[in-house]
Amino acid sequence: MSVEQYFAVGLAIAIVGGWLFDWLMHTVAIIYGIRRLHRQLPTPSPEDLPGVSIIKPLVGVDPHLYANLESFFKLQYPNFEILFCVQEESDPAIMIVQKLMELYPKVDAKLFIGIKYICPNGKINNMIKAYEAAKNENLLISDSCIKMNENTLMEMVCCMKPDVGMVVQMPFFENRPKLGFASVYEKVYFATFNARSTLGGFATGINACTGMSCLFRREPVDKAGGLAPLGQYLSEDYILNHTITQAGYKSVLCTSTAQQNSGCSSVSSFHKRIIRWSQLRIALLPHLIILEPLSECMLMGACASWAIEYLFGISSMGVFLMHILLWFLLDYTLLRIVENGPLPFSKFEFVVAWLMRETLALFLTLQSHRNTIVKWRHKQYKLNWGGKIEELNNNQVTTSLRLDNSEVYERSSTRCDYLTLNRNGKTFVSEAFRYSL
C-alpha cells in the first residue's frame, strides 16, 4: 500500500474507534442515569443535619423570579439561611426579596446590596459579601433561575458524605408550556447532549460540574484562597470543582436535577447561551476544539459512515441512517430517564427539537470560534487560553424615556426586558411584575 492508503486506513480505524467510544458514553450515561437520578436516599436524623448557607446572586427580574425565590423560603430543612446578593440599589429584585422576607419572617434571610470588587468575574464580586458573612460550613450557590422543590436541599445534603466535598445538580428545566417551542428546545438540549456529558463525566470521574446549583464544603476553598482565585475565570464552577477535588474530596451528582425556571425564553437567546458555553469550554480545555464536534451526532455519523465503507465496503448511506436512528432512540431514552415522568410535549415536538439541535450543533460550535469576547449579563470579557478572563469596558446600557421632571421609565438589557419606574429616588416594578408583589 502507498503512504496515502496507510494514512487513510489509519484515519478510518481512528474514526471507528471514536465512533465506538461515543456509543460507549451513550451507554454509560443511560446506565448511570438509571442508577443515580431520582433515587430515595436515607435521611439522617435532624440533629445530624449540618447547617447550610444558600447564596443567591441576583441581577434584574423576570416573570418567574418571585416563584423561584419563594421556593427557597419553603424548603423543608431544619437549619439553613438564605443570603441574597444584588449589585445595584436600583435593581427591582430588591423589592421581591424584601417582600418575601416580610412574608416569611421565620426564615433566616439577609440581603446584601453592592459589590466588593476582588476579581474580574462579576458573579464572584456580587457573592463575596454573602460568602464572607455565611455562618455555615456548607454553602449552596444557586442561580436566580433555579426553582427548588421542598425536599431538594435535604436530598443534596444526604449526598454530602464525609468524603464528599461537592454535590452538583445536573441542570434541567421546569415545564413551561406557555413559553412555546423554545422551552421544548431547551429541555431537549439539557436532557440529551448536556445530560450525556454530565452523567458520563460523573460516571467516569471527569470534571463535569455546572454551577447553577452546587453544594460544597467551605474549608478546602478557604485553604486555596477563597473565591478570589476562582474569579480569574468565567467558568468559576469548573475551577471550584477542581479546587475541592484537589483537596482530596469527591465531587458527586445529586439525585435530583436543578430545575431552571426562567420566565423568558427564545431560541435565539438560547443559542447565544450555547455559544458562550462553548467559548468557555474551548478556552479552558483547548483539546475540545477537536473532540467536541466529533461527539456530535451528524458529524460523527458522516465520518463513521465513510470510515466503515472504506474499511468494510458497507453502504455509507445505510450506516449513516442507522447511526442517526440509533442516536435518536438513545437520546429519547435518556430524556425519559431525566424527565422521570410523562413528557410535557408531543413526540413530534421532540423530533423537531432534536433535529434542530443536532443539525445546528456544528454551526453553533463554529460560531463560538469567531472571537474570544464573551458577553455575560451587562459585561464583556476577553477569554484567554486556559480560561482566564480580562474585563473589558463594562458600562451598562440603559434606555430612558423621561415623562416629566419626576418620573423616568428605564428599560434594561437583562435576559428579559423589564420596565421600572423611578419616582423621587424610589424604584417600583412595572405592571408586568406587580402580580408577584
> What positions carry a catalytic annotation?
237
Measured CA to CA, the distance from residue 388 to residue 283 in angstroms comes to 8
Residues 6+ apart with CB under 8 A from 84: 56, 58, 69, 93, 97, 109, 110, 111, 112, 130
Measured CA to CA, the distance from residue 312 to residue 12 in angstroms comes to 10
Residue with cell 436535577: 257
Tell me, what amino acid is at 305?
S
Beta-carbon neighbour count of residue 130 at 10 Å?
23
Burial of 368 (0-12, 13-18, 19+ CB in 10 A): buried
Q: Is the dihedral of CA 3, 295, 282, 357 positive or negative?
A: positive
Strand bridging mode 213-217 / 138-142:
antiparallel
Q: How many CA atoms lie within 13 A of 135 on its CB side?
A: 9
Residues 102 and 69 sit within 8 Å (Cβ to Cβ): no
Residues 374 and 280 sit within 8 Å (Cβ to Cβ): yes
Measured CA to CA, the distance from residue 222 to residue 359 in angstroms comes to 44
Measured CA to CA, the distance from residue 437 to residue 419 in angstroms comes to 15
Helix (H) or strand (E) holding 298: helix 297-312
Residues 6+ apart with CB under 8 A from 308: 12, 16, 314, 316, 319
**Which of 146, 140, 142, 143 minimizes the C-alpha distance to 68?**
146
- Our measurement of the distance from residue 283's CA atom to the centroid of its chain's CA atoms, rounded to an integer in Å, reads 17
SS3 52: strand
**Cell digits of residue 408:** 423616568
